Amino acid sequence: MTSSHDSIEPLRRLTARGRGEAHRVASPLELFFDLCFVVAIAQAGVQLVHAVAESHAGEGVLNYTMVFFAIWWAWMNFTWFASAYDNDDVLYRIVTLVQVAGVLVLAAGVSRAFEDHDYVAVWLGYVIMRCALSSQWLRVASSAEGAERTMALRYVGGVLLCQVGWLGLLLLPESGRPWLFLAVALLEMSVPLFAERDHPTSWHPHHIAERYGLFTIIVLGETIAAATIAVKSGIDEFDALDELLPIAVGGLLIVFAAWWIYFVVPIHSRLRSSRQAFLWGYGHYVVFASAAAIGAGLEVAVEQAVGEAHLSTLAASAAVTLPTALYLLAVWALHARHFKVGLAQQLVLPVTALLVICCTFMGDWSVFTAGLVTALSVVTGVTLTARTAARAPGAAV
């Protein structure tokens, strides 16, 4: 449990926790919260598969980007709030469960958002989550004074203002929705910067790093689950073991390498300032979205291999290689590069991303080759680290 209290009380003052608090770990409520959010991510991935498999990749990626933002942003805001203010009283737990209900409502509307451009359920689920979080900030404001109270009220006003903006998804014609999304998404991401300009929240670096790491694990697990089910269905229904085995092996190598590269070094030591933390936290939109898209791409590759997808081998390969390359570059940019020693180590992940993109043109062996390349990048990184460990023990893949 994240709470420092021994008993669960119905109501406590919602006051800031200490940034230097010892033994801070994710709570069971936070883990449950993450698992429920991955339900929505899985739904978005399923719809992305359908869109790409039907040769509507552009439209599918756009819808995926918009829906994933709603899921990720609600998750991220709760995560940072909980790191600073989780008091684990009964009301806090209930409001958190309301946010879980909101993401399940959102998940229920994902298919209609993709297929019919009907965002009513997605919007409603998002509003439930955001209003619940706003009520938590109101609790903070009622317990705080001075700059901290101002910060909490800025959060409330900013979050609720953005909800008005999102109404445009229900009112505007389809052609205007991408531009509205871009404008309101930028406004959403500006709220924390505005709210905390005079009083930053007391988030816990180790706790935040653990929360992001756990969510990465859950997303990668969902990727493996989706790809495994697709391969199993292809074998059971089409007896296509020979065609699917390279995809299965390649996909597994990609996910294994993705895990290794992300967790090779602990990142919490770099999360010391709010400026660093904002950039790192926001950048994980790309990490999470690309990791989930890898699973969708593997499903597309399986469907194309058994003749169920209406697209070329090149397009199916790109559905795997492009998100893989994006994931590698995002992880390198956000934290892996900070632990590199020398040009050779710095170039491992960028060069690997480029080679993975080149694997797109390898035909039926594209996914397997991409998996082999990512696995070899891990081996290369480990080898380079071992060679420089004596003079640079902090170096990493």
| 80 shares a domain with 120 | yes
- CA-CA distance, 172 to 313, in Å (whole number)? 37
Question: Is residue 247 included in any domain, yes or no?
Answer: yes
| 156 shares a domain with 216 | no
- 359 phi/psi in degrees, rounded to 5: -65, -15
- CA-CA distance, 200 to 82, in Å (whole number)? 14
Question: Is residue 361 included in any domain, yes or no?
Answer: yes
Question: Is residue 19 included in any domain, yes or no?
Answer: no
Q: How many CB atoms lie within 10 A of CB 195?
A: 22
Question: Is residue 351 included in any domain, yes or no?
Answer: yes
Of 199, 335, 341, nearest to 279 (Cα)?
A: 335
Question: Is residue 12 included in any domain, yes or no?
Answer: no
| 366 shares a domain with 310 | yes
Q: Which of 195, 223, 253 is the last residue of a domain?
A: 195
Question: Is residue 2 included in any domain, yes or no?
Answer: no
- CA-CA distance, 304 to 337, in Å (whole number)? 36
Question: Is residue 318 included in any domain, yes or no?
Answer: yes
Q: Which of 195, 218, 253 is the last residue of a domain?
A: 195
Token pair recorded at residue 233: 């269905």
Number of domains in the chain: 2
296-321 pLDDT, tens per residue?
Answer: 999 999 999 998 888 999 999 999 99
Which of 7-16, 85-94, 243-252 shows the lowest per-residue confidence on average (mean pLDDT)?
Answer: 7-16
| 188 shares a domain with 217 | no
| 138 shares a domain with 32 | yes
Token pair recorded at residue 230: 């697709």
185-212 pLDDT, tens per residue?
Answer: 999 999 999 999 999 999 998 999 999 9
pLDDT at position 2 over 70: no
| 175 shares a domain with 100 | yes
| 283 shares a domain with 240 | yes
Q: Which of 195, 219, 248 is the last residue of a domain?
A: 195
Of 3, 11, 1, 6, nearest to 89 (Cα)?
A: 11
The arithmetic mean of pLDDT across residues 65-84, rounded, is 95
97-154 pLDDT, tens per residue?
Answer: 999 999 999 999 999 999 999 999 999 999 999 999 999 999 999 999 999 999 999 9
The range of the structural domain enclosing residue 317 comes to 205-388
| 327 shares a domain with 290 | yes
